[in-house]
Amino acid sequence: MEDTTNHSVKIAIIGAGNVGATFAYALLGSGLASQIVLIDANHKRAEGEAIDLNHAVPLTHSTRIWAGDYEDCAGAAITVITAGTAQKPGETRLDLVQRNYAIYQSVIPQIVAHNPTGILLIASNPLDVLSYAAMKLSGLPANRVIGSGTILDTARFRYLLSQHAGVDPRSVHAFIIGEHGDSEVPVWSSANIAGMSLADYCRMNCEEYNPEVYKRIFEQTRDAAYRIIELKGATFYGIGMGLVRIVEAILRGQHTVLSVSTLIQDYYGIDDVYLSLPCVIGPDGVNKFLRLPLNEEEVAGLQKSSIVLKETLHTLGL
């Protein structure tokens, strides 16, 4: 496939906190962008991060990095939004909704005023709700408003499964779908290593198959953020790299299948809500979401996830 990466790619980052700055650092190392602008309500923070990042430039890729304002979003191929309050110990992602929706109401119109055609990539929580809100507030077509969704949860899941199976995480094919949050759903029915279901992999290649182990692996995946926040206050490396992976798939037109949050229409009775399914990501954002054949338990889980998300959207009048 044609590599559409070019050397005038600008990426705007709204929110230069833990997630925004970590993403900027990973993006710099990737060489995908020639310009990175950091925009934050706390301009000093953005300025400090920009200066610090610039000192890494001579050691990596030639990139212009600065702390800017919304007018600098003009011409950005992708604007990545990480602005907002993060979870404190014990808080769920949904607990953040009122505060972060208010931030989105002020931020999104300012972005589209200067950049009416770029792609928005959402990382703030509650992710799925804010992605839907960003689509509504921006007036952009749904394919151009992407939520990072369960790209992180899927990475956590593959990592933990790989540790159990003793193989490279990249050789584990398994998705987390639904809400990026407590109601997310593991798709056991299509999870595989070398084309074998996980049960077959274990029966043929491990000492024993114990479904309890897999149950615990999912629980650790779902609850990973709570544990990390308890231990170090915030999570940012996994999402930072996940955002780079989505940006790469867009800029290089890779048509990669990644689990991201997108507008779901007519799928197992689910309609008009953002949640994660494996999606084909290309130069225009989400090319399509993939209609996975799910078992009964997975369908019920996904429908529950969509209800949780719709109820939260209704509290915002959306």
Ligand X SMILES: NC(=O)c1ccc[n+]([C@@H]2O[C@H](COP(=O)([O-])OP(=O)(O)OC[C@H]3O[C@@H](n4cnc5c(N)ncnc54)[C@H](O)[C@@H]3O)[C@@H](O)[C@H]2O)c1
Which residues belong to the active site?
180
Does 124 bind ligand X (CB under 6 A)? Our answer is yes
Does 83 bind ligand X (CB under 6 A)? Our answer is yes
Measured CA to CA, the distance from residue 7 to residue 5 in angstroms comes to: 7
Among residues 9, 77, 86, 246, the one that binds ligand X under rule CB under 6 A? 86
Does 235 bind ligand X (CB under 6 A)? Our answer is yes
Does 278 bind ligand X (CB under 6 A)? Our answer is no
Does 84 bind ligand X (CB under 6 A)? Our answer is yes
Please state the closest distance from residue 285 (CB atom) to ligand X, in A. 17
State which residue, 26 or 86, has the beta carbon closest to ligand X: 86
Does 279 bind ligand X (CB under 6 A)? Our answer is no
Does 106 bind ligand X (CB under 6 A)? Our answer is yes
Please state the closest distance from residue 126 (CB atom) to ligand X, in A. 8
Does 179 bind ligand X (CB under 6 A)? Our answer is no
Q: How many CB atoms lie within 10 A of CB 99?
A: 10
DSSP H helices, the chain, are: 18-30, 43-54, 97-114, 127-138, 151-165, 198-205, 211-222, 224-232, 237-251, 296-315
Does 43 bind ligand X (CB under 6 A)? Our answer is no
Measured CA to CA, the distance from residue 308 to residue 7 in angstroms comes to: 42
State which residue, 86 or 133, has the beta carbon closest to ligand X: 86
Residue closest to 309 by CA, chosen among 264, 267, 279 = 264
Which residues lie across from 36 on neighbouring strands? 11, 65
Please state the closest distance from residue 103 (CB atom) to ligand X, in A. 4
Q: How many residues in the shown chain lie near ligand X by CB under 6 A?
A: 33
Q: Is 3 exposed, middle or buried (0-12, 13-18, 19+ CB in 10 A)?
A: exposed
Choices 101-109, 156-164, 198-206, 275-283; region in contact with ligand X by CB under 6 A:
101-109
Residue nearest ligand X (C-beta atom):
17
Does 105 bind ligand X (CB under 6 A)? Our answer is no
Residue pair 134/81 in contact (Cβ under 8 Å)? The answer is yes
Does 87 bind ligand X (CB under 6 A)? Our answer is yes
Does 259 bind ligand X (CB under 6 A)? Our answer is no
Does 15 bind ligand X (CB under 6 A)? Our answer is yes
Measured CA to CA, the distance from residue 98 to residue 313 in angstroms comes to: 10
Q: How many residues does the chain have?
A: 318
State which residue, 101 or 218, has the beta carbon closest to ligand X: 101
Binders in 149-168 for ligand X, by CB under 6 A? 152
State which residue, 110 or 197, has the beta carbon closest to ligand X: 110
The DSSP-derived string for 18-82 is HHHHHHHHHHHHHT--SEEEEE-SSHHHHHHHHHHHHTTGGGS---EEEE--GGGGTT-SEEEE-
Does 24 bind ligand X (CB under 6 A)? Our answer is no
Mark 43-81 as b/e (b = at least 16 C-beta within 10 Å).
Answer: eebbbbbbeebeeeeeeeeebebbbbebebbeebbbbbb
Q: Which residues form the interface with ligand X (CB under 6 A)? A: 14-20, 40-42, 45, 82-87, 96, 100, 103, 106-107, 123-125, 127, 148, 152, 180, 234-236, 239
